[in-house]
Amino acid sequence: MKDVIPLLTTLPTSIAPVDIEIFDPPMCCPSGLCGPTLDQTLLDVNEMVMSLQRENLRVERYQMTSHPNAFLGNAEVMKLVREKEMAALPIIVVRGKVVKVGSYPRQDEIRFALAGANR
């Protein structure tokens, strides 16, 4: 098959350093809006991401299918994925450091981690 939609090309969207990285479990879209059920938690996460972005923090979300290189490029993330497989996801990385494994954080957890990273 030629000219397939290149799901796998991850293009850098900005050169600013990433503050928060979310390694999502596989899903159709980040809000979960296209899955068979609606998960309010995913919508909460979406909202949190937007509110962090409004403070000019750089937040990136990765999925294994669309951003495999982001996973492969982070040794600690890959180690977790190999050990715990699906149970590891989502993985939250704040300024390069894994801060949460297996569930999404609340906004105050992110802020605490950001403050810690600044210290």
Partner 1 sequence: MTKFIFFSGKGGVGKTSMACMHAIRYSDEGKHTLIVTTDPASNLADVFEQEIGHKLTPIYSVPNLWSMEIDPDQATQEYVDHALAPVRAAFPASMVKVMEEQMSGPCTAEVAAFDRFTDFIVQDQSTEQFEIVIFDTAPTGHTIRLLELPAEWSQSIDAASAGSGQTCIGPAAAIQDAKHKYEHALTALRNEGVSTFIFVLHPEAIAIRETRRAISELGKLGIHTHRLIVNGIIPASEHSNPLFSARSKMQLGYLEQIRAQLPFTSQSMTLLAGEIKGVECLRQAANIFFNGEQPPVISGNMEDVPEGNVQQSSIDDIRARILPRGQRRTIFFAGKGGVGKTVASCMTAVWLAQHEFKTLLLSTDPAAHLGDVLGQPVGDSSQPFPGIMNLWAAKIDPKAAAETYKARILGDARQRGRTESAIKVMEEELNSPCTEEMAAFDLFIDYASQSDWEAVVFDTAPTGHTLRLLELPMDWSQQIDVKVFSSVDGSAADDVAKERFGQVIEMMRDPAQSTFAFVMYPESTPILEAWRAAQELATTGIQPGLVVANFVIPSNQATPFAQARRRMQKNYLAEIRARFAVPVLEIPLLPQEIKGLEMLSELGERAYGIPALDVR
The residue ranges that bind partner 1 (CB under 8 A) are: 1-11, 13, 24-43, 46-47, 50-51, 61, 64-68, 71-72, 78, 81-82, 85-87, 89-90, 103-104
Is 97 in contact with 89 (CB distance < 8 Å)?
Answer: no
Least spacing, CB of residue 67 vs partner 1, in Å: 7
Least spacing, CB of residue 119 vs partner 1, in Å: 30
Please identify, using beta-carbon distances, which residue of 50 and 117 lies nearer to partner 1.
50
Please identify, using beta-carbon distances, which residue of 4 and 17 lies nearer to partner 1.
4
Residue 110 region by backbone torsions, left for phi larger than 0, else alpha for psi between -120 and 50, else beta: alpha
Please identify, using beta-carbon distances, which residue of 4 and 15 lies nearer to partner 1.
4
Please identify, using beta-carbon distances, which residue of 49 and 113 lies nearer to partner 1.
49
Strands (E), 1-119: 20-23, 59-62, 91-94, 97-101
Is 85 in contact with 29 (CB distance < 8 Å)?
Answer: no
Residue 102 region by backbone torsions, left for phi larger than 0, else alpha for psi between -120 and 50, else beta: left
